[in-house]
Structure 1
Amino acid sequence: MTNNNMTETGIFVHQFELGPWDNFIYLIGDRATRTCAVVDPAWDAPTILAEAEKLDVKITHILCTHSHFDHVNRVNEILEATDAPVHMMGEEIDFSGFKSENLVRHSPGDSLTIGQHLEITMMHTPGHTPGCTSYRIPDALVTGDTLFVNGCGRCDFIGGDPETMFYTLQDLIKKLPPKTTMYPGHNYGDKPTATLDTQLQTNPYLLLPKVEDFISHRMQGKTPNTPLPPEPKWHP
């Protein structure tokens, strides 16, 4: 699945699905300079590089929403091909021990500029992991495993916290304009993207006003501090 969105402000968002767990990979960048960031490079580096070549864009940054292997397991291969800086929230680095060449440690609210038109702001959105990051771009948010279409990230894995997730989602509702487009980290919904206002009508995790109700719903049938499953073998 691919999705291209060229905005009037001169930026683009290219979404494509990759891997056995329906991950969405993103190339977000500047039309004028044809430079971009790849968000959560995982599963197959040649496919990701081929997408960039098909679009005639150069990957100049690597953005990681969090450290789970299904979002970072091809960072090093993309790094070898691009020598791009790798951006991750400092709290996530401390939690996971993630290491790579060119690793840049970030704090909430940090921003970076790609090309002439694209400014990306790093929003700390913990709950799935302690250092989960969503990337704010004009009129949109790349949410990783924080918010899905009609869902949200699991909170039972090691480092997850359902109470924290509840307040993260409530904070996003308060801070973001209703027409903000959400670009999730997995294709788990009935469509690949959604706006915040539509999610406020249909996403059950945004419709629970009390933290205790959210925790009960999110953790139903789950065991806290569950290890991640082993990384599956997968070939495109």
Structure 2
Amino acid sequence: MSDNNPFYFRQLLSGVDFARYDSSARSMANFVYLLGDAQTRECVVVDPAWDIDTLLDIVAEDDMTLKGALITHYHPDHVGGHIFGMDILGLPELMERSPVPVYVNKHEADGVRQVTGISDSDMKKVDSEDTLKVGSIDISFLHTPGHTPGSQCFRVKDYLIAGDTLFLQGCGRVDLPGGDSEEMYRTLTQRLTKIQDEVVLYPGHNYGGKDNAPLGEVRETNTYLQIDSLEQWRMLMG
């Protein structure tokens, strides 16, 4: 990182970079991200779950100070809670060890509170096109509903951290509580089309293959981005 590019970025894979001895974390293959300013030594964490102690240790080892948590959506594998018979550590444990503002889309706040038990006072409710400055780094919030009502992506320079909205192959499920197939169609065919091909997609899970790719490449290879009509979309999604 140079003086001209102070952006601090870490992509961390559950079961590999943290929660190393947790077979469930390895099978779920969640990505957690650290974003910040390498000069001011400030950062935020995206979707802290599974192993809060190790994530905070990584922040400390990098000589960074945690200033917030950014949440893509309220599912427990991204924020902590109970899912598929698993009890997953997440925001409650983070708030015990390092209480910081939790940035959630305004449509997602109720879900985050119900799943994790954190309070309204812990959360900063944001809307699409809002921005957060971490040191000199601007992070833009993009509301991308479909997987959940308040799913959001984060844009930093030419990085797009997409959570479960969009993967390199496929997109987030719409058959879980809060999912909306037609909203997902609008997100993929309208809301994300404004983002340039050179922006690099960083997804919420490692579902095989590469862990990131330029959006131009994803648009050429991801079937879910090649649908011509809502009727085709409904057939694809069943």
Equivalent residue for 1:88, pick from 98, 104, 112? 104
Length-normalised TM-score, structure 1:
0.85
In the TM superposition, residue 96 of structure 1 has moved relative to its aligned partner by: 5.4
Matched, 1:123 2:142: yes
Aligned sequence identity (%): 38
Residue 54 of structure 1 aligns with which residue? 61
Residue by residue over 1:19-43, the C-alpha shift from the partner in whole angstroms, topping out at 9 and shown as x without a partner, is 2410000001111111111000011
| Structure 1: runs of 5+ lacking an equivalent | 220-236
Shift of 1:97: 4.3
- 1:46-98 CA-to-partner distances (Å, cap 9, x unmatched) read 12112212322111110110111010011121222222101101111135544
134, 159, 165: which one aligns with 1:140:
159
C-alpha distance in structure 1 between counterparts of 2:237 and 2:34, whole Å? 30
**Partners in 1 of 2:151 and 2:106 — Cα distance?**
10
Matches of 1:16 and 1:94 in 2, distance apart? 27
Kindly indicate whether the alpha-carbon contact (under 8 Å) linking 1:154 and 1:218 is maintained by their aligned counterparts in 2.
no
CA distance in 2, matches of 1:129, 1:94: 12
Letter in 2 for 1:77: E
CA contact (8 A) 2:109 2:123 kept: no
Distance 1:97 1:50, change over 3 A: closer
> What is the 5 A alignment of 1:8-87?
8-18=4-14, 19=25, 20-73=27-80, 74-87=90-103
More off after superposition, 13-22 vs 191-200: 13-22
- Work out the CA distance in 2 between the residues paired with 1:51 and 1:212: 46
Higher RCO, 1 or 2 (CA under 8 Å, sep at least 6)? 1
SS for the counterpart of 1:147 is: coil
Q: Does 1:107 align with 2:107?
A: no
Q: Secondary structure at the match of 2:108?
A: helix
Asked if 1:160 is matched to 2:179, the reply is yes
C-alpha distance in structure 2 between counterparts of 1:57 and 1:126, whole Å: 32
Q: Which runs of 5+ in 2 are unaligned?
A: 15-24, 81-89
Scaled by the length of structure 2, what TM-score is found? 0.84
Residues 1:68 and 1:208: Cα distance change in structure 2 (over 3 Å): same
Alpha-carbon RMSD across the aligned residues, in angstroms, is 1.8
Contact kept in structure 1, 2:112 and 2:118, CA below 8 Å? no
